[in-house]
């Protein structure tokens, strides 16, 4: 299991507690107003991946096979993207039209979707410099601050979405593209509404679920409910199937988002630069599939095992990286925090006696200050939003997340007894060099020379992203932070994640309550599936989840804490019914499992209830 670098788990401050309770209340009311349970309209990106149901077990027993499993999940997702070629070609034409008219292209998203735009922006700056660098504007909810820690409250805030869009400089002739893996984010919905009613160019909405699924799930949202809005938006589905780790859209979905924007944008710029038509979507995807297919992901196995061992021993890890892959590495290391409810990168402005320290940090080679680090990583200076009501997004706060080589000296002051392993990653001459405390390896990442130079770098960055995602996911698996492919330690910081957490609670009970909490299989099955108990079961999960969520601390699992209490309550409630209801015993759920007389079932209930009361 994971050991934190400091024993202290900071309790919530009064203001944090009030904010959390307000958030819980808002989410609860929203769920009640919608009239839908958390189990309704489960999207593809939130479902189980059928090929990775044994992922956590393999992470413990056979890391090499687990790496190969995740590699195959990435390849299957990429193959599905080939079906989107016609839609992406249409998007490229719209991009070329805007660029040739001297207009700007804005791409906006929350979390990993927004960070996808930042990676594309870096590729644009590297390939075309000043010529197109100012015509492509990526928008990440919360701004540059959300590169390290997503600004809470932005994803569900429609006012913030429009405000940040206008602050970024959008004008009526510009092209706007919204990214959302699930299709749910109110932040980008508000931007789409605004642009669709005021812009001269139809905006695009790109999501990673089937179109009809998204339309049904969010039918009440204005962009689907209002015909005038719906007809004035281009919708693109880049359906890549379920995530390898259920709901973890930082993996296959984020890759799809980079490709669906990056390839047509770079091709559009290449076309305008050379006066020769470029359209390389299919060739780029096929080349990426071929490159990943030839790489032996098992090379990462000793690094997965070593990093997990460092955390198990109570040590930290420094990722020391070359600037050309710093954005990729920083994204992967920082996204572990919300995915697995780990401590975020601590900020220089934090009270280090109260705030738990991150178990790993990214350090960019040849940088000595935060300003140098951000310039090296982004190809530009960092920018704050400057909103008084969002202090998290101020420039001073952004610079407090130091990514320079000096962070090691700072951490020695407030973590004097903590050892740190060094994981060095450098990318040069198409080779990714790895060195974890003297364990070295090299992975060759050749790009097809037939591709334009600007697409070769994009491909290499996405191969590195795949390797990092697979590596970090399995490190977390060895630490026991998911079960099968269920994300048990999700941090429910927005409405989508609240629903995911509730659903995971129910799914975890169905698969693991028997083993973990010694609950009769029939209890779990009847509680979750029988018509008499389905509504009760879902209401119970909802209420208990909100109770646990209000006091959630870093490093704890609201899913596990809720699941345990749900399982115990189901034991009492459902066993009573099994004891005294012959009608229930004849149901298909219980048929063939409970065939005792009512007297025997009553004794079983009394026995189990007595056992439960002693726990």
3-state secondary structure 380-394: CCCCCCCCCCCHHHC
Q: Are strands 136-140 and 175-180 parallel, antiparallel or unpaired?
A: unpaired
- pTM, 2 dp: 0.88
Together in a domain, 598 and 578:
yes
pLDDT at 563: 81
- Residue 34: count of CB within 10 angstroms of its CB: 13
Rg of the chain in Å (alpha carbons): 25
Q: Of residues 515 and 297, which shows the higher confidence score?
A: 297
In a domain, 7, yes or no: no
Band (pLDDT 50/70/90 cuts) for residue 581 is very low
Q: Of residues 510 and 583, which shows the higher confidence score?
A: 510
In a domain, 8, yes or no: no
pLDDT at 498: 84
pLDDT at 579: 42
Together in a domain, 323 and 251:
no
Residues 6 or more apart whose CB falls under 8 angstroms from that of 295 comprise: 71, 443, 444, 445, 463, 467
Q: Of residues 11 and 435, which shows the higher confidence score?
A: 435
In a domain, 371, yes or no: yes
Q: Which of 49-58, 190-199, 439-448, 529-538 has the lowest mean pLDDT?
A: 529-538
Cβ(562)–Cβ(587) below 8 Å: no
- Residue 73: count of CB within 10 angstroms of its CB: 25
Supply the range of the domain harboring residue 531: 14-35+488-613
- Residue 589: count of CB within 10 angstroms of its CB: 19
Q: Is 188 helix (H, G, I), strand (E, B) or coil?
A: helix
pLDDT at 574: 52
pLDDT at 2: 63
Together in a domain, 203 and 334:
no
Together in a domain, 400 and 420:
yes
Together in a domain, 300 and 253:
no
With a cut of 50, say whether residue 532 has pLDDT above it. Answer: no
Structure tokens belonging to residue 254: 């984020």
With a cut of 80, say whether residue 290 has pLDDT above it. Answer: yes
Q: Which of 77-81, 148-152, 568-572 has the lowest mean pLDDT?
A: 568-572
Residue pLDDT, tens place only, 137-181: 999 999 999 999 988 778 888 999 999 999 999 999 999 999 999
With a cut of 80, say whether residue 580 has pLDDT above it. Answer: no
In whole angstroms, give the CA distance from residue 197 to residue 233. 10
Question: Of 294, 328, 354, which one is at a domain's C-terminal end?
Answer: 294
With a cut of 60, say whether residue 520 has pLDDT above it. Answer: no
In whole angstroms, give the CA distance from residue 468 to residue 88. 27
pLDDT at 251: 98
Q: Which of 103-117, 161-175, 565-579 has the lowest mean pLDDT?
A: 565-579
With a cut of 60, say whether residue 189 has pLDDT above it. Answer: yes
Q: Which of 443, 454, 459 is nearest to 290 (CA)?
A: 459
In a domain, 135, yes or no: yes
Question: Of 274, 294, 314, which one is at a domain's C-terminal end?
Answer: 294
pLDDT at 443: 98
Q: Of residues 245 and 570, which shows the higher confidence score?
A: 245
pLDDT at 514: 44
In a domain, 602, yes or no: yes
Q: Which of 110-124, 184-198, 486-500 has the lowest mean pLDDT?
A: 486-500
Together in a domain, 121 and 270:
yes
Provide the domain count of the chain: 3
pLDDT at 376: 98
Band (pLDDT 50/70/90 cuts) for residue 25 is low
> What percent of the chain is modeled with pLDDT above 90?
66
Q: Are strands 234-237 and 105-109 parallel, antiparallel or unpaired?
A: unpaired
Cβ(335)–Cβ(250) below 8 Å: yes
Band (pLDDT 50/70/90 cuts) for residue 426 is very high
Sheet holding 234-237, edge to edge: 136-140, 105-109, 175-180, 204-207, 234-237
> Rounded to the nearest 5°, which phi and psi values hold at 250?
-65, -15
Together in a domain, 155 and 209:
yes
Together in a domain, 119 and 247:
yes
pLDDT at 32: 55
- Residue 337: count of CB within 10 angstroms of its CB: 20
Q: Of residues 301 and 388, which shows the higher confidence score?
A: 301
In whole angstroms, give the CA distance from residue 425 to residue 307. 14
Q: Is 186 helix (H, G, I), strand (E, B) or coil?
A: helix
pLDDT at 510: 59
pLDDT at 33: 58
Crossing angle of helices 63-81 and 252-274, rounded to 10°: 50
Structure tokens belonging to residue 548: 């646990």
Residues 6 or more apart whose CB falls under 8 angstroms from that of 129 comprise: none
Half-sphere CA count of 311, side-chain side, radius 13 A: 24
Average pLDDT over residues 40-63: 92
Question: Of 248, 273, 294, which one is at a domain's C-terminal end?
Answer: 294
In a domain, 221, yes or no: yes
Average pLDDT over residues 327-331: 98
pLDDT at 261: 99
In whole angstroms, give the CA distance from residue 615 to residue 609. 10
Q: Of residues 12 and 406, which shows the higher confidence score?
A: 406
Band (pLDDT 50/70/90 cuts) for residue 354 is confident
pLDDT at 490: 86
User: What separation in angstroms does the CA of 524 have from each of 47, 508, 594?
Assistant: 20, 10, 13
Q: Of residues 534 and 21, which shows the higher confidence score?
A: 21
Together in a domain, 599 and 471:
no
In a domain, 62, yes or no: no
């Amino acid at each position: 299991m994971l050991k934190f670098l400091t024993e202290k788990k900071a309790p919530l401050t009064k203001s944090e507690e009030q904010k959390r309770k307000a958030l819980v209340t808002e989410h609860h009311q929203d769920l009640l107003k919608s009239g839908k349970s958390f189990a309704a309209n489960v999207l593809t990106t939130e479902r189980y991946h059928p090929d990775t149901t044994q992922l956590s077990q393999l992470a413990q027993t056979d890391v090499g096979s687990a790496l190969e499993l995740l590699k195959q999940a990435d390849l299957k997702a990429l193959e599905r993207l080939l079906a989107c070629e016609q839609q992406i070609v249409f998007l490229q034409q719209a991009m070329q039209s805007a660029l040739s008219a001297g207009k700007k292209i804005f791409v906006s998203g929350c979390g990993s979707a927004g960070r996808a735009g930042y990676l594309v922006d870096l590729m644009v700056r590297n390939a075309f410099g000043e010529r197109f660098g100012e015509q492509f504007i990526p928008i990440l909810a919360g701004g540059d601050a959300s590169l390290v820690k997503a600004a809470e409250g932005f994803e569900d805030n429609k006012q913030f979405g429009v405000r940040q869009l206008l602050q970024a400089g959008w004008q009526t002739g510009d092209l706007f593209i919204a990214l959302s893996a699930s299709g749910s984010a109110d932040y980008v919905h508000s931007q789409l509404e605004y642009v669709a009613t005021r812009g001269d160019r139809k905006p695009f909405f790109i999501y990673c679920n089937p179109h009809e699924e998204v339309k049904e799930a969010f039918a009440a949202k204005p962009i689907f409910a209002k015909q005038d809005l719906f007809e004035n938006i281009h919708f693109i589905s880049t359906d890549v199937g379920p995530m390898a780790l259920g709901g973890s859209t930082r993996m296959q979905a984020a890759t799809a988002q980079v490709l669906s924007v990056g390839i047509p944008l770079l091709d559009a710029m290449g076309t305008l630069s050379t006066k020769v038509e470029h359209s390389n979507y299919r060739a780029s995807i096929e080349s990426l599939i071929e490159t990943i297919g030839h790489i032996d992901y098992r090379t990462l196995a000793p690094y997965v095992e070593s990093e997990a061992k460092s955390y198990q021993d109570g040590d930290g890890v420094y990722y020391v990286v070359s600037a050309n892959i710093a954005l990729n590495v920083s994204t992967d290391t920082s996204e572990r925090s919300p995915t697995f409810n780990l401590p975020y990168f601590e900020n220089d402005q934090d009270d280090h006696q109260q705030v738990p320290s991150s178990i790993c940090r990214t350090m960019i080679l040849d940088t000595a200050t935060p300003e140098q680090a951000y310039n090296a990583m982004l190809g530009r200076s960092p920018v704050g939003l400057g909103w008084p009501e969002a202090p998290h997004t101020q420039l001073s706060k952004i610079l407090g997340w130091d990514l320079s080589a000096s962070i090691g000296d700072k951490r020695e002051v407030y973590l004097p007894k903590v050892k740190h392993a060094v994981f060095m990653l450098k990318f040069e001459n198409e080779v990714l060099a790895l060195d974890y405390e003297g364990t070295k390896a090299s992975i060759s990442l050749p790009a097809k020379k037939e591709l334009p130079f600007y697409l070769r770098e994009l491909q290499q960055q996405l191969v590195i992203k795949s390797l990092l995602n697979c590596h970090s996911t399995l490190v977390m698996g060895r630490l026991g932070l998911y079960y099968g492919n269920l994300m048990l330690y999700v941090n429910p910081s927005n409405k989508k994640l609240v629903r995911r957490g509730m659903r995971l609670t129910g799914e975890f009970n169905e698969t693991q309550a028997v083993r973990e909490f010694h609950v009769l299989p029939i209890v779990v099955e009847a509680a979750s599936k029988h018509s008499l108990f389905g509504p009760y079961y879902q209401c119970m999960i909802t209420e208990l989840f909100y109770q646990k969520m209000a006091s959630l601390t870093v490093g704890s699992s609201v899913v596990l804490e809720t699941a345990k209490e749900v399982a115990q309550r189901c034991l009492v409630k459902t066993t009573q019914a099994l004891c005294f209801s012959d009608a229930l015993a004849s149901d298909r759920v219980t048929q063939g499992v409970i065939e005792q007389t009512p007297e025997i079932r009553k004794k079983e209930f009394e026995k189990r209830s007595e056992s439960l009361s002693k726990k």
